[in-house]
């Protein structure tokens, strides 16, 4: 199975028209539509909601131990 990403627009009739590259052979295909909900994504962000509730450890910038990357296999 292969996947390609094509930019498209949804028209006023709620239709999407795709023009596939010539290199794709005639066969069955599955179409998955992913869309952005601009009504919820464009709301202004409220800053400071979790102020004082999150703490960063003093060793945050230190390298992680090998056991972290090797799932404790050392």
pLDDT at position 4: 85
Cα–Cα distance measured from residue 69 to residue 53, given in angstroms and rounded to the nearest whole number: 28
Strands in 9-72 per DSSP E: none
- Using an 8 Å Cβ cutoff, are 21 and 4 in contact? yes
The sign of the torsion formed by the CA atoms of 48, 54, 55, 56 equals negative
Q: Give the per-residue pLDDT at 8.
A: 85
| pLDDT computed for residue 26 by the predictor | 82
Burial label, 25 (beta-carbon count in 10 A; 0-12, 13-18, 19+): exposed
pLDDT in tens, the chain (74 residues): 788 888 888 889 999 888 888 888 888 888 888 877 766 656 787 898 888 898 889 999 999 888 888 875 65
């Amino acid at each position: 199975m292969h996947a390609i990403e094509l930019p498209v627009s949804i028209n006023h009739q709620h239709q999407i028209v795709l023009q596939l590259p010539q290199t794709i052979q005639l066969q069955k295909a599955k179409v998955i539509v992913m869309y952005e909900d601009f009504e919820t994504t464009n709301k202004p962000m409220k800053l400071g909601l979790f102020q004082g509730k999150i703490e960063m450890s003093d060793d945050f910038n230190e390298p992680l131990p090998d056991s972290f990357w090797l799932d404790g296999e050392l």
